[in-house]
Structure 1
Amino acid sequence: MDSNHINKEFEDLWHKSHPKKAAEKKEAAWEKFNQEVFKEKKVQKTPNYKYAIAASLLILIGVSGLLPYLSHETSTSTPLLAETNIIKNPTTSLKLVYLPDSSQIDLAPQAEISYAKEFKQNRKVHLKGEAFFNVTKDKEHPFQVDYKQTTTTVLGTSFRISSPVKNKTQVDLYEGSIQMNVEGSAKNWLIAPGESFIAEDDQVKIIAFNLFKEFKNAPLHELINYIETNYQYKVEFQSEKIDKNITLKIKKRESLDHVIQVLAQVYNLDYHIDHQQKRITFQS
């Protein structure tokens, strides 16, 4: 039975059950009845591909528009990682280096340091080779040196980091205090002046050393040799005084200026220090 015939029978049934309705009311009522009984299946609308394509194009345009900004972020992030100051000492003598916080480093021959551009906020130095550090105090920003498997942390002090043999790290403390850490160990070691921290082959030991250098009635040329060897400055002294003996006790790694002042006072001499030429001249 087709749908037209079914509709006709329902229409006849409706008219028989509603004989007194006016023609115009019948038509309206029938229309309502027909909609309720024969609810049409909703037709799935065909997607509007024009709008879909337009939306896709907008997305593509948006992404392509962001590409310059994304590439800009990438290009700026790379230099940030690369914004590291590297200082090398390719010479055969010590190189004096001043850091942005006024800390001083005597960089040994063939040694190298690197540190972040924003050093005052992140006082961390990576060291290759050997160096002597004279660190400016800053309680809010501890000073750290990464060297091989060790980290040296200080507030303000003087110390030397060296590697006498392969796989051996030695830190000699002359002034202040330092904390030592070894990679892979949760233990901290606190070092006092006159102590050496030695890490070698997964073993750690702390030994004492003499903080002072003594000259007991020694020929003056011994002190001059000591200055030239440890400070890498050439000393010119009057020949008539060179053979005189001297008795003197100074701190190892004492500042060069202080050593020269003491020597000038002992012999009542004037002096001139040429830091560029690394030359010291004593004269009457």
Structure 2
Amino acid sequence: MDKEKMDKEFEKLWNETPLSHSESEKEASWEQFQSKTFAAKKPKFKVWRYAVAAAVIIFVLIGTGIYFNGSPLQDDIYLTSNTVENTTSIIKTVALPDSSRVELSPNSKIVYANNFETNRKIIVEGEAYFKVTKDKKHPFQVFCNETTTTVLGTSFTVQENAQKGVTVSLYEGSVQMNVKDQDKKWILKPGEKFIYGNNTAEVAEFNRFTDFENEKLSIVSDYIKTNYGYTMTIPEEYSNQRITIRINKKEDLKTIVQLISEMYNLKFEINDEVKQITFR
């Protein structure tokens, strides 16, 4: 209320109250004047206070939106995550919360959510081999540069190339490939690899097997040492035994060991602490 209106209101109230009124009546008149004059000022403070609160909420949401949109996982971005980096010179095996397994190559890194069992999305930098546990309700997706690998099967490698390209090689099962801002999808079969770089994509075949044709068993032992890091000990009388076998290059080590044991009727023991396989 401006000064002119305030003066008129004051004069009106004053004229309505004779000088013969008691002190209590005068006090009541003054309170009436105050209520009429200053009542409108209170809401102004409340409106301003709520406006500030709204501004804070909007700011927080905008900040969150920027964080979400900046993520390769888009609206499925996680606020807390786990990062595993291999700074060694040998392959590092990582067990994921859903029982899937990752063989992380040197100078490579993966990032995945704390709630990975229900949010099976993972970012790869470098090279990693995945052995995925099947879960139809929760798709397994791997993000590398502009590509997304959706797992429909179990066993594949993802390799980030120096020129920011990506190669996905499928050993078992099936995977679907997508590229950012492209509607086309590529479904890979075992023995196929997806190559993406310089905004072009192609699918090619590769040999996913290693063949041993009438080789000494010791040659297979050398292969296991080179590719899995385990030393294989066999009875001396078997060292010159010959073997013909085809091995998936990313086959689980225990599967290979069981196959050898059945072929030669041997028992075996695997010591993971010292990376030793002993046949008896």
What TM-score comes out, normalization by structure 1 length?
0.70
- Inter-CA distance 151–81: structure 2 relative to 1 (3 Å threshold): closer
Q: CA deviation at 1:106?
A: 1.1
Matched, 1:51 2:36: no
- Inter-CA distance 155–191: structure 2 relative to 1 (3 Å threshold): closer
Q: Which amino acid aligns with 1:179?
A: Q
Deviates most, 212-221 or 162-171: 162-171
Cα distance in 1 for partners of 2:51, 2:205 equals: 65
Q: CA deviation at 1:136?
A: 1.5
- Inter-CA distance 49–145: structure 2 relative to 1 (3 Å threshold): farther
Q: CA deviation at 1:276?
A: 3.3
- Inter-CA distance 81–144: structure 2 relative to 1 (3 Å threshold): closer
* CA displacement 1:65-91 (0-9 Å, x = unmatched): x79x97xx89xx89x954112122222
Matched residues, percent identical? 37
- 1:210 counterpart residue number: 207
- 3-state SS in 1 of match to 2:171: strand
- 1:280 counterpart residue number: 276
* CA displacement 1:18-53 (0-9 Å, x = unmatched): xxxxxxxxxxxxxxxxxxxxxxxxxxx998454345
Q: Which has the larger radius of gyration?
A: 1
- 2:169 counterpart residue number: 172
Cα distance in 2 for partners of 1:49, 1:263 equals: 98
Q: Which amino acid aligns with 2:195?
A: I
Q: How does 1:1-284 map to 2 (within 5 A)?
A: 48=36, 50-56=38-44, 82-163=79-160, 165-277=162-274, 279-284=275-280
- Inter-CA distance 164–50: structure 2 relative to 1 (3 Å threshold): closer
Question: What CA RMSD, in Å, does the superposition of the two structures yield over aligned residues?
Answer: 3.1
Q: CA deviation at 1:113?
A: 1.0
CA contact (8 A) 1:132 1:159 kept: yes
The alignment covers a number of residue pairs equal to: 232
CA contact (8 A) 2:83 2:112 kept: yes
Flag as ranges the 4+ runs of structure 1 deviating above 6 A: 60-64
- Inter-CA distance 47–116: structure 2 relative to 1 (3 Å threshold): same
- Inter-CA distance 50–274: structure 2 relative to 1 (3 Å threshold): farther
